[in-house]
Amino acid sequence: MGRIKFGIQNGLNVARAGYTEDQIITACILADKTGYDSVWYMDHTNVPQWKKAIVLDPWVMLSAIAAVTHNVELGTCVTDAIRRHPSNIALAAITLDRVSNGRACLGIGAGEAQNLKEFCIPFESPVSKWEEQIQVIKKLYSSSPDHTVDYEGKFYKLEGACLQAPPIRKPHPPTYMASGGTRTLMLTGKYGEGWLPIGYTPELFEDHAAQIKKSMDENGRTDVEKDNFQFALDIDVYFSEDAEASWAKMKEAVKVSLFKPEVLRVHGLKEIEGFDFRKYFTEYSMSNQDWIVKMREAATKIPESVARSSTAVGTPEDIIPTFERFIKAGVNHFVIRFWGKNYFGSIDKFASDVMPHLKQKDESSATFLGGL
């Protein structure tokens, strides 16, 4: 499975707090210097329910971060396959890879109505478009004026197309696919170099990782591809001296993030009668208060124990078992969203008080297995 990696996610946590560009870049420099493996940036158009939030373009910010860091990988968490032509995404990933000297990653998903509805961008056949995007992007990675590429799909077409800047990372920046349904998990096993979901319990992660591994076998992925595959997880961390008090304040929001059919299936929970998941995922947007209210009401029925297992809250001693459980479920790359007022302090505390323990345990386990 490879060594355990740790990264920080600049997502809703920093946007909602209203951190400036300088503060975000400073946090990424800190992560680079304190031993993190990766830095990620969300790709949202807006989050209008938080009017003071600052929402920035990930590709521009990651390029700025690349200029002041030296070690961390840099990725989108995640770009969607609806708002941009695949040639734009491929060129952006290559450019980031070149300015970072081979540290780029492409996190990409099928999109969501949240970033599309108010901009009147159609949300039609998202998974089929996503599959074609991945195919087109990978073709363009290896293209050049002397090696033009063609593609004939339902949604995209290339005729003698090429890009003129090869990536530094070989064969190309790794693709982390954000997936959580039967078909998208299959596509992740078929095309991805990594998987990057959010809002998971250990049980759901283990279930979905097994589906990806099955797809990798069915699609003839090599042993090297399987060994190098990154089973990542976007996970929330909230440092607090009083874990119970902090959990009481955040549990409803956590339940909302977990409320999806797959969580209910894996944990044997009866689906909430009357809640239309398909309509929710295709129509929901941050400005639609009706859907937000419906979601919050339905999510309250998720058991406390299930919700609590998905989030790391409390002191370093409280947090370590949560990470150990996810490692046991198959996670080998944690992408952490730190919440709370002291963002810089949380990055430093995790690096000094949590990361060494988990890495030491991981190394001990690898040594033990290697001796068998």
Residue range 164-183, pLDDT digits in tens? 999 999 999 999 999 999 99
Average pLDDT on 208-233 reads: 98
Cα separations (Å) of 150 from 67, 147, 192, 196, 324? 34, 10, 21, 29, 46
Confidence of residue 281 (pLDDT cuts 50, 70, 90): low
Angle between helices 126-141 and 182-191 (to 10 degrees): 10
For 18-51, the pLDDT digits (tens) are 999 999 999 999 999 999 999 999 999 988 878 8
DSSP string of 210-279, one letter each residue: HHHHHHHHHTT--HHHHHH-EEEEEEEEEE-S-HHHHHHHHHHHHHHHH-SHHHHHHTTPPPPTT--HHH
Whether the per-residue pLDDT at 227 is higher than 60: the answer is yes
Residues 366, 3 contacting (CB under 8 angstroms):
yes
Structure tokens that stand for 268 in this block: 């044997």
DSSP code of residue 129: H
Q: Is the peptide bond between 171 and the residue preceding it cis, with omega within 30 degrees of 0?
A: yes
Q: pTM of this prediction?
A: 0.94
What average pLDDT does the structure give for the chain?
92
CA–CA separation, 122 and 60 (whole Å): 25
Output the six-digit token pair for 233: 């997880």
Residue range 120-162, pLDDT digits in tens? 998 899 999 999 999 999 999 999 999 999 999 999 999 999 9
Q: What is the model's pLDDT at position 368?
A: 44
- Mean pLDDT, to the nearest integer, of 63-83? 96
